Structure 1
Amino acid sequence: MTKRHVSLPADAKDVRRAFVSGVDERLSAAETPDELATAVTGTLADLRGERDAYEAWRDGDDVRPAAAARLATLDPRNASLESEYYAEKDEAAFARSKPLQWLWRQFDTTPLADNVDVALPFRRMLAGHLFAGVGEDVRLFKGITMTYGHNIELGDNAVVHDGVHLDDRGELVVGARASVSNGAHLYTHDHDVVDQTDVTNYRTEIGADARVTQGALVRAGVRVGENALVGSRSVVQGDVPAHHIAVGSPAESVRVKPGWEAVAAPLDAGGERRQAERRLDDAVPADAAVYDEFQRDRSPPGER
């Protein structure tokens, strides 16, 4: 789509640059996870206008319990995320990604998250600290969620729109100039159909120039090929070949993009399931203290 340039007043641009570069410097100077958490805490206290209240509470001033809970969770060390409970995660990598992900999520609850001229540069900067790899001119919109962040790679000019879930319990790669539309979910892990506590992680790939459109779901271990298109609300369970258009649940290739017929695979090549090739060897550490949150008897009736 052709777009037009939008220019904010010069003084507003200067304020935005100072804000984003200042946070970038804080994060870059942090050498340990604790230093990173401290940098995030200060940033969130400033973003919410609660620096004085936070420092007073930290130094021992009495406040109401609700205020104490709010001020305490400016510090990511006083908060937990769902992914923190995953037994197989890389603990060292998560120690650094957790404060950054906390900053990402909390930033999106502030008024600045709706100011595109501020929010896109901020998220692009933050992605440079959080993601495994991030290209130039990436655009990341509001409400994006992720599992860890540190297993995500985005190519140049990739765009991820509002409300997208980037599951990187395994590995997730989104290629250059690819587009992921509002409300889409990209998965890299799957659960056993009998024992849902048995999780397998995969590498999921969205090829360069591909589009995953509104509300679509891409299953773990799938590859959406270069320049392919996944239709709205589709559920992709098998590979989508390059230049194909796939729609439905489960998604099936219904046509090749006009003009690309000579280089595209035939339509019946779509839907091949190759997850086994992209399975990751993520084992739970032997010393991890694990538990079964469901405590179910999973034995079939005849085996009890």
Structure 2
Amino acid sequence: MTWLKPVDIDPRAQSSYADFFSDLEARLRDPATDRPGLVRETLAQAMYGRDYAALLADAPLAALNLDSRNVTFEAEYYMATDDARFQQVKPLLHLWKSIDLTPLGQNPVFGIPLRRVLAGQIFARVGRDFKCWQNVEFSVGYNMDVGDDVVIHRNVLLDDIGGIELHDGASVSDYVNIYSHTHSVLDGPDVTLRRTVIGRGARLTYHSTILAGSVVSDDAMLATHALLRGDIPPRGIAMGLPARVTRVKVRPPGVVEGFSGPGIDSATHPHDAGRKANPQFPAPTPNQTRLPDGDAALDARLPLVQPMPEPVGGEG
């Protein structure tokens, strides 16, 4: 049973919101819809209370910035971005990010259903009852694969350029960072993409970081401020910098509360071997690091979690 309780608002407001979401979803599903035009009109009404043409006449700088064709996103500068796919979702990401900065976006009864509608048109897949709070950032959006009953809290970074899977019931807490790309330690432009997988019922807690290619198994947990480079087994609880499994949940093997059937086990789940974002560099990236000379103690402490191969680089 959920620990959340229902909250009611004025029925007239709820009806107005529902009509808006229904109309928006229908228009976004129509392949003839001019998405940038729809988004700029929606933002002009939401942010300035007037139509776009009137705003353009009175305040052109404000109006021009509402049109996604007049702004750029970080993803557009990267070789790994599929420009054709990104241009399809760019207006919707612009709407998502912009509304989050308004009172509408800060209002859960409006912001969460709006993001649910947009996710259905942006993500590769999104299941039922997706719940996303405000100020969540995506790299491209179209490489998100999201199951049922997934919750993403505030100020999360989802670097989905290489692909992110969030399976049924996964929970991502505030300020979590999930990466799916890594840089060579010797050459920053040498970027490797690896899909990152978060299993069913897994919980990523406050301000934790998951590096590219990691597999977090069903019912696992990553502790607050932990840094994961590798895998967590089913029911495992990983803590620390870098993370290591220090506890295992007391639950029968193979049982994930609220789920049935096969799920994600990092020991058997296929791992992404990695794809190069920049063809100028060899694949795979050769080993580029070594332990400090004579540091046997450091060598004895590794590995901390199930390891991944090189490269070992920074993100972003």
Corresponding residue of 2:36? 37
Alignment of 1:39-58 (within 5 A): 39-52=38-51, 54-56=52-54, 58=56
Q: Give how far 1:209 is off.
A: 0.4
Alignment of 1:70-219 (within 5 A): 70-219=62-211
Q: Normalised by the size of structure 2, how large is the TM-score?
A: 0.80
Q: Give how far 1:69 is off.
A: 2.1
Task: State the alpha-carbon separation in 2 of the partners of residues 128 and 212 from structure 1.
Answer: 23
Residue aligned with 1:74, SS: coil
Q: Is contact 2:190-2:277 (8 Å) kept?
A: no
Do residues 8 (structure 1) and 9 (structure 2) align? Answer: yes
Aligned CA-pair RMSD = 2.3
Corresponding residue of 1:253? 245
Do residues 279 (structure 1) and 262 (structure 2) align? Answer: no
Could you give the per-residue CA deviations for residues 155-187 of structure 1, whole angstroms, max 9, x where no partner exists? Answer: 100000000111111010001001000000000
Task: State the alpha-carbon separation in 2 of the partners of residues 139 and 176 from structure 1.
Answer: 12
Q: Give how far 1:57 is off.
A: 5.7
Q: Is contact 2:43-2:66 (8 Å) kept?
A: yes
Residue aligned with 2:275, SS: coil
| Residue-pair matches, total | 269
Could you give the per-residue CA deviations for residues 70-97 of structure 1, whole angstroms, max 9, x where no partner exists? Answer: 2101100000011110112111101101
Q: Is contact 1:214-1:232 (8 Å) kept?
A: yes
Residue aligned with 1:125, SS: helix
Task: State the alpha-carbon separation in 1 of the partners of residues 48 and 124 from structure 2.
Answer: 31
Could you give the per-residue CA deviations for residues 229-285 of structure 1, whole angstroms, max 9, x where no partner exists? Answer: 10000000110011101110111000110124x459xxxxxxx99999413435558
Q: Is contact 1:237-1:273 (8 Å) kept?
A: no
Q: Is contact 1:247-1:254 (8 Å) kept?
A: yes
Corresponding residue of 1:21? 22
Q: Give how far 1:25 is off.
A: 2.3
1:186 aligned partner, one-letter code: I
Dislocated runs of 4+, deviation >6 Å: 272-276
Task: State the alpha-carbon separation in 1 of the partners of residues 268 and 183 from structure 2.
Answer: 17
C-alpha change, 1:285 and 1:95, in structure 2 (3 Å) is farther
Q: Give how far 1:46 is off.
A: 1.5
Q: Give how far 1:26 is off.
A: 2.6
C-alpha change, 1:21 and 1:125, in structure 2 (3 Å) is same
Task: State the alpha-carbon separation in 2 of the partners of residues 79 and 240 from structure 1.
Answer: 39
1:105 aligned partner, one-letter code: K
1:113 aligned partner, one-letter code: G
Q: Is contact 1:24-1:125 (8 Å) kept?
A: yes
Could you give the per-residue CA deviations for residues 38-67 of structure 1, whole angstroms, max 9, x where no partner exists? Answer: 111111111113534x30365xx4x5xxx4
Percent identical among aligned pairs is: 35
Residue aligned with 1:278, SS: coil
1:279 aligned partner, one-letter code: A
Task: State the alpha-carbon separation in 1 of the partners of residues 220 and 180 from structure 2.
Answer: 19
C-alpha change, 1:88 and 1:4, in structure 2 (3 Å) is closer
Deviates more, 1:68-77 or 1:155-164: 68-77
Q: Is contact 2:192-2:277 (8 Å) kept?
A: no
Decide which of 212, 228, 233 is 2:225's aligned counterpart. 233
Task: State the alpha-carbon separation in 2 of the partners of residues 208 and 161 from structure 1.
Answer: 17
Task: State the alpha-carbon separation in 2 of the partners of residues 225 and 81 from structure 1.
Answer: 32
Q: Is contact 2:157-2:176 (8 Å) kept?
A: yes
Residue aligned with 1:48, SS: helix
2:53 aligned partner, one-letter code: E
Point out where structure 1 has 5 or more consecutive residues left out of the alignment: 265-271, 287-304
Q: Normalised by the size of structure 1, how large is the TM-score?
A: 0.83
